[in-house]
Structure 1
Amino acid sequence: MPKKTMGAKKIAFAFNSYGLGHATRTLPLVQAAIERGYAVYIIAYGRSLAFLRRELGNTVAKYFELRDYSFNRVFRKKGFSSRRFLLNSPLFVKEVLDEHRAFLELHAKYKFDLVFSDSRMGIYLPNRPSYFLSNQLKQSTARATWLGEIFTENYMRRVKKHFTKFIVPDTERNSISGLLTHNFWFLKKKDVEYIGILSMLKKRRTKKKLDYFISISGPEPQRTVFEEKVLAELDALQGQQTVVTLGAPEKAGYHKKIGTVEIFGLLNRRRQEEMMNAAELIVTRSGYSTVMDLAELEKKALFIPTDGQPEQEYLARYHKALGNNHVVRLKKLDLRRDLAL
């Protein structure tokens, strides 16, 4: 954690609920704060909150359920809708303002010493150290790359005015996030601190051997579309030792075996670590938290980026160019063919 956090007694950790990745990647920082004796307060929503409760239990001073952003409005089963995003932009701005007012009310009661916000723009304090963790300080798209970079980085420069510093879970050199957190147009070196890869997983030897580990994740309804696609192709996996996790906290107790394929509703950190270490190949989304896990475990993957999500599309292209992974669109996924590549 940044050196400036060492004097804090009460730390408010806030998590974006857009997928589980924000919760999984920041979990090591939360655990480190608890181990050092800080009083930790968790602000999250939905599946992210359920995951954090499951992992942290009563080691946290208090949990707060605070809704963040309605990005599900811009996703449909076919993917991202630019038109819906533009139409809903005023709502998203209002949601940021509303969460900031709600957080100020919490602060008035609990008097936080420090704020650590994982991609929640309204969770900050004007008179306390407030850090914003992000792996995309600008956006790079397949088309009009430099225009997208300038526009999005300029927006993040405005966000930076509310925060002490941007915290980036990557290294300054040999980056795994590429242009998303490097080669800035506007941001200064003092604005950004690179803290290295954050992963709740560790590389370990395991007696268990798997051919494939398939991790289903992402925001709804795209997570369900991914799940339906994989489950419809289970025949292609027969004869191969395979574990599928559905990434759904509400299905945490679900377990089913179909031939050589085991399906789990959700895996805790220990079991996720075991399965990923055991697998020869991992089939997964190309979210940044997953990219960090793969780098930590030194694993290859078949990436299936969420349609219309520029970060995942860029990371999939970037790591394919580095020779780390294969990439396929969900609508073109054919497990029998793609796993043979």
Structure 2
Amino acid sequence: MDKNKTYKSILVAPLDWGLGHATRCIPIIQYFLDKDWQIFIACPPDSPHQALLSKEFPSATFVPLFGYDVQYAKSRAFFMPKMFFQLPRINRTIKKEQNWLKDFVKNNKINLIFSDNRYGLSHPDIPCIFMTHQLELILPKKFQQRIAQKIIYQYINQFRQCWIPDFADNGIAGALSHPRKMPSIPVYYIGLLSRLGPKIESEIVFKYLVVLTGPEPQRTILESKILGIAGRISDRVLIVRGTPNQINVPFAPENCKIVNHLPNDKMQKAFAASEFIISRSGYTTVMEILSWQKKSILIPTPGQTEQEYLGKQLHEQHYAYCFSQDCDDYLEEIEKASDFEYTFPHYDSNTYLQTMDKALQDLNISE
């Protein structure tokens, strides 16, 4: 950087539930980097999120910020009860990050704060943007959804803008991103976000690319199930474990290649060289898959109502084939996907750039 030039600076803070929030921040960070902004990234130290983002953005300044450290249950039946009992700790974490932000901005010149689903990172004196695809929480009872929405809107409305990575019309996230009641702050549908960039063409090398994501223990549970049947698949399989801070990999059958992590450029090549993508129905992965119009097989995290809702909706729209992790015969379901009639939404890779330009102009933030 030119020492004589004054640079604007942005603090980017992705939620630490799985790697999806970090990966979908990659095009956001790149946008500001291309405009010569100084980048601060807040995430738990020595975490998979820091490992991933530091490989993509070695020039960024990483600042330690504690995570929410949410733990998932091993079974569907205990998913909601376990989440419920973690709510007091989550609330304390939000209050702690509010205090953390006050201290941070006292010691650092920050022009913009960008929070991906971290509810406590708003500041009254600095423009703050909150990004989420989930304004409607999917809960067992409607009254629970109304209460939850009221609570999260109290936090969201303290930001200047809310960005939603979906289409304004015919959105892929359905009711999650298109609730009946919207926040009171300006809302911008910025289109799909994908770290992969424009689609590239390649010879198909792998029949299946398995992309493992999400918090433990469910990431490991699905990995074990996939490895258990991978040797019975007659085609080549590439497995990306989603563990960027690990070195060793488990044993895999001869038809499988297994890696802990792929940086963005290599993940692009892996997507291009694969006919099917097998993954969770996490929203970030879904955006990457649909932006490249790839055939996919989605396996929602058991009990995670957002993923189950999204997987069901995408299956009904024929955007993806979806089946339950508790399914008895993975091979049968994977084979069914070969006969599934896929269709894909129209996608313009420049939409988010144009919408971000407009949103920042509305905040009176120039380059």
Contact persistence 1:137–1:152 (CA under 8 A)? no
Query: Which residue of the partner structure matches residue 19 of structure 1?
Result: 18
Report what 2:93 is aligned to: 95
Q: Are the structure 2 counterparts of residues 336 and 81 from structure 1 closer, same or farther at C-alpha, using a change threshold of 3 Å?
A: closer
Larger helix fraction of residues: 1
Partner of 2:327: 332
Equivalent in 121, 124, 147 of residue 123 of structure 1: 121
CA-CA distance at 1:195 after TM superposition: 0.8
Counterpart of 1:4? none
User: Which segment drifts farther, 211-220 or 269-278?
Assistant: 269-278
- The 5 A counterparts of 1:1-341 are 9-45=8-44, 46-57=47-58, 59-60=59-60, 62-72=61-71, 75-79=72-76, 80-141=78-139, 143-144=140-141, 146-188=142-184, 191-201=186-196, 202-237=198-233, 239-251=234-246, 254=249, 258-332=253-327, 334-341=329-336
Q: What residue identity is the alignment partner of 1:47?
A: P
2:246 & 2:221 partners in 1: Cα distance? 16
C-alpha distance in 2, partners of 1:161/1:243? 43
In the superposition, relative to structure 1, how do residues 129 and 283 fare at CA in structure 2: closer, same or farther (>3 Å)?
same
Amino acid at match of 2:41: I
Q: Return the offset for 1:253.
A: 7.1
**1:138 touches 1:156 (CA, 8 Å); kept in 2?**
no
Counterpart CA distance in 1 for 2:182 and 2:277 is 37
Measured after TM superposition, the shift of residue 272 of structure 1 is: 1.2
Q: 1: distance between equivalents of 2:7 and 2:123?
A: 14
Percent sequence identity is 27
Identify if the C-alpha distance between structure 1 residues 203 and 77 changes in structure 2 by more than 3 Å, giving closer, same or farther: same
8 A contact 1:68–1:99 mirrored in 2: no
CA deviations over 1:4-49 (Å, ceiling 9, x no partner): xxx9811000011101100111101101101101111000122111
Counterpart residue number, 2:352: none
TM-score (norm 2): 0.84
The answer for unaligned runs of 5 or more in structure 2 is 1-5, 337-367
| CA distance in 2: counterparts of 1:225 and 1:198, whole angstroms | 28
Contact 1:153/1:186 (8 A) holds in 2:
no
Secondary structure of the residue that 1:167 maps to in structure 2?
A: strand
Residues 1:39 and 1:182: Cα distance change in structure 2 (over 3 Å): same
d(CA) in 2 for partners of 1:301, 1:153: 31
CA RMSD, 1 decimal? 2.0
Structure 1 residues 275-294: Cα deviation after superposition (integer angstroms, max 9, x where no partner): 11222211100000011001
Cα pair distance change 1:251/1:184, threshold 3 Å: same
Look up the SS of the partner of 1:329 in the other structure.
Answer: coil
What displacement does 1:103 show?
Answer: 1.8
- Structure 2 distance, partners of 1:278, 1:70, is 35
Contact kept? 1:118, 1:132, Cα under 8 Å: yes
C-alpha separation between the residues in 2 aligned to 1:87 and 1:301?
34
Paired amino acid for 1:311: E
User: Post-superposition shift, 1:129?
Assistant: 0.6
Per the TM alignment, residue 208 of structure 1 is displaced from its structure 2 partner at its CA by 4.1
- 2:291 is paired with a residue whose SS is helix
AA partner of residue 179 (structure 1): A
Assess if the C-alpha contact under 8 Å between 2:120 and 2:155 holds in 1.
Answer: no
- The alpha-carbon deviation at position 255 of structure 1 amounts to 8.8
Deviations 1:262-315 (A, max 9, x none): 111111111111111222211100000011001111012111101111211111
Rounded to whole Å, the distance in 1 between the matches of 2:328 and 2:259 is 21
CA distance in 2, matches of 1:38, 1:253: 36
Deviations 1:49-85 (A, max 9, x none): 111011111x21x10121121311xx22224532233
Report the alpha carbon displacement of residue 210 of structure 1 after superposing the two structures with TM. Answer: 1.8
Q: Residue by residue, what CA displacement relative to the aligned partner does 1:217-258 show, whole Å, maximum 9, x if unpaired?
A: 110111111111111222222x30211111101235759763
Flag structure 1 segments of 5+ consecutive residues without an equivalent: 1-6
Shift of the alpha carbon at 1:150?
Answer: 2.5
For residue 3 of structure 1, what is the aligned residue in structure 2?
none
* Amino acid in the other structure paired with 2:188: E
Residue 3 (structure 2) aligns with? none
C-alpha distance in 1, partners of 2:296/2:318?
11
CA distance in 2, matches of 1:200, 1:252: 23
Q: Is the 8 A contact 1:212 1:281 kept in 2?
A: yes
Structure 1 residues 296 and 333: alpha-carbon distance in aligned structure 2, compared to 1, 3 A threshold: farther
Q: Which moved more, 1:111-120 or 1:132-141?
A: 132-141
Q: Is the 8 A contact 2:206 2:237 kept in 1?
A: yes
